[in-house]
Structure 1
């Protein structure tokens, strides 16, 4: 079981993550929506496509743009469609 934890709360938990470039991508359904807020930024990866972001809001603290996902990934990255990865201080426990 892999968990994503930030500010004392489990944000995501699954035994079905996909590891890409050192990042665990969690199924979207394994991420707790209570902690997510949409972000208006995006980034581009040459082989995965355009990433969108979520900020985290947990126990009164905000972690801007701490989660990302590929809503419409390129062909080589289709395995991570509808999956979410974390950074910016989010602890990943395996």
Structure 2
């Protein structure tokens, strides 16, 4: 799977590395272009996953707000529900293209 915005790859991982949660593809932290992301101040807490961290991206010198989010320390019950630890995995907003790259 690959996540792209404005021609830039934000993340790329094989199908066995990703985690699908509620229709969103979560990429492992090591597969995400961390150099393009910075922490956003957008607050959000999911009732069953816990507190999230949103990210902005800098693409061609311009900030794109809230391109993605992660759960730095998801609730233990959420990890159990998902069946895998998804701490710091990153999912992307609907305006980011996430698709199979063959």
TM-score, normalising length: structure 2? 0.84
**Which residue in 2 is equivalent to 1:7?**
6
C-alpha distance in structure 1 between counterparts of 2:18 and 2:27, whole Å: 5
Distance change (3 Å), C-alpha of 1:63 and 1:88: farther
For 1:45 and 1:35, locate their aligned partners in 2 and report how far apart those are by CA, in whole Å. 25
> How far is 1:66 from its partner?
1.3
Aligned equivalent of 2:75: 74
Q: How many residues align?
A: 93
How far does residue 40 in structure 1 lie from its aligned partner after superposition?
1.5
Q: How many angstroms apart in 2 are the aligned matches of 1:13 and 1:32?
A: 9
Superposition misfits of 4+ residues, deviation over 6 angstroms: none
Q: Hey, what's the Cα distance between the residues in 2 that align with 1:6 and 1:77?
A: 29
Q: Per-residue CA shift, 1:11-45, capped at 9, x if unaligned? A: 10001110000000000110012210111222011
Give RMSD over aligned pairs: 1.2
Structure with more strand by fraction: 1
- Identify unmatched segments of 5+ residues in structure 1: none
> How far does residue 88 in structure 1 lie from its aligned partner after superposition?
4.2
1:6 deviation in Å?
0.5
Larger Rg: 2
